[in-house]
Amino acid sequence: MSHKIIRSENLNDMPKRYRTQLINSLSGFKSANLLGTISEAGAENLAIFSSAVHLGANPSLIGLISRPFTAEVVRHSLRNIRETGYFTLSHVHEGIYQEAHHSSARYADGVSEFEQTGLTAEYLEGFKAPFVKEARLKIGLEFKEEKFIELNNTYLVIGEVQVIVLPEDCLFEDGMIDLEKAGTITVSGLDSYHRTERIERLPYAKPKQ
Amino acid sequence: MSHKIIRSENLNDMPKRYRTQLINSLSGFKSANLLGTISEAGAENLAIFSSAVHLGANPSLIGLISRPFTAEVVRHSLRNIRETGYFTLSHVHEGIYQEAHHSSARYADGVSEFEQTGLTAEYLEGFKAPFVKEARLKIGLEFKEEKFIELNNTYLVIGEVQVIVLPEDCLFEDGMIDLEKAGTITVSGLDSYHRTERIERLPYAKPKQ
């Protein structure tokens, strides 16, 4: 198999969009979540995020990367999270991926991506932030902390799991969620959506004797 | 469809392993990477990581979550990254996922997971840290920063991309890597491996008029 080698100096010479596509696809397959928030004034916001990452099980923490928040570019999701202290993640499935992708369009402040995409805001369990009604697997989180990453002016936003809503038949006996059965899909790069097919679950790895 | 609701108080009542399985699968599908490092003394280390996350394209940054590093539990990968300033990520594909999973077994300090798993350490491009010879898509990174997350004593380890090695025919014209063609797989929870099938690439999302 013939290989291509890309060095940092090649990255510097690339057109910006080419480099963005390349690096966004580099880390591997990513989670596909819809981030639901609401401002104190009641304006709902919905945005697709591919950066949700497991941080730990006890406490149950999930992190998200938010891009730079400046006077010029207000990140509505991050502002709402700071204001209310709550956010939701709803897994993207094959029936809603086009609507989910559409939520990444840049709408003005006060415009609800729920309305624009046709997805439905749903309030569950007395939770302040909206979930996506059409999703099957939904997580309500309490904002715990943000870490500013000076290297590129982004934020790691950390939430603690408060509530999980999932289809009854999508839990394995040992507690693992059967994401594939729930229809959760995965994303690569900025715009490529993929269904999955399980190869195998492997037993807990132990050292060879 | 019948739904199950799990609240934070239910999480607190769960057996530890059940909760670990549940929360590890909650964020969605994850990247599957082998983290290659070497100590100053020359001891190689290899460990599977599902927490690699895209942080930004310019500079080209990837983050990883490392679990607690204490006097009792030394994380060999993190120690090596701190010592040498370099690490590699090699994408897991279907031909090496069992070996990759095996790298998560807890071996004593000084034991090379390369030897134990049968994967081969490869030195490319004068890069200090070892790549996985059997992988198809390989990334060499320079350690830039670590962020300590007090909430659960973990670290966000941040590296800047220095070199990318990938199959010649796995780049789209716009710069995106065709991960599926490269055979990269995805992981869910702690132990479930999945191949992917592309549904669609969608165009850049624009607001409705």
Above 80 in pLDDT, residue A209?
no
Above pLDDT 70, what percent of chain B? 99
A182 touching B, CB under 8 A?
Answer: no
Query: Residue B34 and residue A148: Cα distance in Å, rounded?
Result: 27
B12 touching A, CB under 8 A?
Answer: no
Average pLDDT, chain B: 96
Band of residue B144 on the pLDDT scale cut at 50, 70, 90: very high
Query: Residue A105 and residue A126: Cα distance in Å, rounded?
Result: 29
- pLDDT at residue number B209: 67
- pLDDT at residue number B75: 87
Average pLDDT, chain A: 96
- pLDDT at residue number A154: 96
Out of A158, A164, A195, the one facing B6 most closely (by C-beta) is A164
Please name which of A83, A55, A28, A26 lies closest in space to residue B68, comparing C-alpha atoms. A55
A7 vs chain B: nearest CA distance in angstroms?
A: 4
Band of residue B5 on the pLDDT scale cut at 50, 70, 90: very high
- The answer to whether A197 contacts B192, with C-beta atoms less than 8 Å apart, is no
pLDDT in tens, A79-125: 999 999 999 999 999 999 999 999 999 888 888 999 999 999 999 98
- pLDDT at residue number A110: 82
Task: Please determine, for the modelled complex, whether the ipTM score is greater than 0.90.
Answer: yes
Query: Residue A52 and residue A156: Cα distance in Å, rounded?
Result: 10
Above 80 in pLDDT, residue A72?
no
Bridge-based pairing of strands A192-201 and A131-132 is: unpaired
pLDDT in tens, A186-204: 999 999 999 999 999 999 9
Query: Residue B6 and residue A120: Cα distance in Å, rounded?
Result: 22
Band of residue A1 on the pLDDT scale cut at 50, 70, 90: low
Which residues of A are less than 8 Å from B139 in CB distance? Answer: 26
- The answer to whether A176 contacts B52, with C-beta atoms less than 8 Å apart, is no
- pLDDT at residue number A90: 98
Above pLDDT 90, what percent of chain B? 90
pLDDT in tens, B71-128: 777 789 999 999 999 999 999 999 999 999 999 998 888 889 999 999 999 999 899 9
Nearest CA in chain A to B196: A196
Mean pLDDT for B45-53 is 97
CA distances, B171 to each of A89, B32, B79, B117 (Å): 31, 19, 34, 30
- Please, which residues have CB within 8 angstroms of residue A10's CB and are 6 or more apart in sequence? none
Q: What is the pTM of this model?
A: 0.97
B43 touching A, CB under 8 A?
Answer: no
A27 touching B, CB under 8 A?
Answer: yes
Query: Residue A172 and residue A186: Cα distance in Å, rounded?
Result: 20
Above 70 in pLDDT, residue A168?
yes
